[in-house]
Chains A and B, each alone.
Chain A
Amino acid sequence: MRALEPWVAGPLETFLAESAARVVLVMTSAGQVVAQHGFTRSLDVMSAAALGAGIMASTTEVAKIMGTPHFGALVHQGSKQGVFLAGFDTPRGRWIGLVVFGPETSVGLVQLFFDRLARELAAAAPPESERGPVLAENFERELNASLHALFGR
């Protein structure tokens, strides 16, 4: 499990242990990766983050048409694996969790422990520090630091 922000690691490790999920991705609603578990290639995690954020944006628009701010969660159940996608509010804004799970667990368990993860992350989030403008000279260094934190390279 790798996280950009250290306070995310504890609740996420607990979630992984209790839900028996195979792959987890926590990202902002813009698709910026906050933490991941189970991905081995950076290309996969970036693709999954972009697709997950896109799906959430689409379903949120559908929800608005139906007169509700957003849906609770979206589940795609396959024969061997399922995908659980849900948004939750944190002091850092709305975040998204993407969870891939197999037959060793159930969507009920994933949902149950994901709700707990969302509550714990919302409670643990420190107030966001003031961020300066992204300068060209800092961009590559920050990008490399993020990639190192998420993939250890």
Chain B
Amino acid sequence: MPEAHLRPTAQASASAAPVLRLARRRVSGIGILTAVASVLIPLALWWGLAAIVMHLRQVAFPTPYETALRLLELVRGRLLNDFTIYQHVADSLQRWALGFGLAVGVGVSSGLLLGWSRLFERLSMPTVTALQLVPGLAWIPVAILLFGIGERATVFMIAITALAPIVINTTAGVKGVNELFIRAARMMGADDRTLFTRVLLPGSLPHLLSGLRVGFANGWRVLVAGEMIVGTGTGLGYSIIQSRWTLDYAGAFVCIALICLIGLLAERGVLLPLERKTIERWGLARTG
């Protein structure tokens, strides 16, 4: 470890970091090919599956092509269950944002507490772990009993499924903060609040962010279950369920694809880079 500290850095300056980052990001031909293949291969599998199912079961299993056509229609403004696709996406996003925001607020603060206090951790961790094991659909009766049918029940379901991984990872992050950082902070006169906000929180950030990533995915995935009880006619999850009655399976597939796409974009475009950047800026670990 001491070797690692001494490494190359005598002449390093603050400007060295971006240069390094650019160098590492340079795209290679193989990288592009792999990326393209990672999209094409599942599409081909989907197509093959659709062909087989149509042949064996004589049902209209939407192919990627039909799904794309339907998507185009919807994007052009054709209504899906009386609403535009934009309305569905916007409503789902809003419910998710509310639920996820709630989960982040409650999850991070209780994670900080659990990570700090062995007593709180012992008291609460079994519950949090159990929470993680409850399947999304199982929350439906709970949500209905608590809030009745409606937006609030849906938001609750998203929040409760996103909560556990955020708490668990924040707790692990706080517990992983080097004891010497805490001592150093106390020695420099940090009170409890300063310790939490300026040491424990940033110190646990790499962990916390991976918790957010899992929590985000959980919350987004439970959208279908959550919108079963939303009561209004909008939402991507709601539309998927409705296809059982409308037989608009291509429309349902569009919604599934949009859920995947938005999820993928948010994870790859926002959360994962954020996590990477944090780890990079922190200098890879807590070696400081």
Partners in one complex: no
The residues of A with any CB-CB pair to B shorter than 8 Å are none
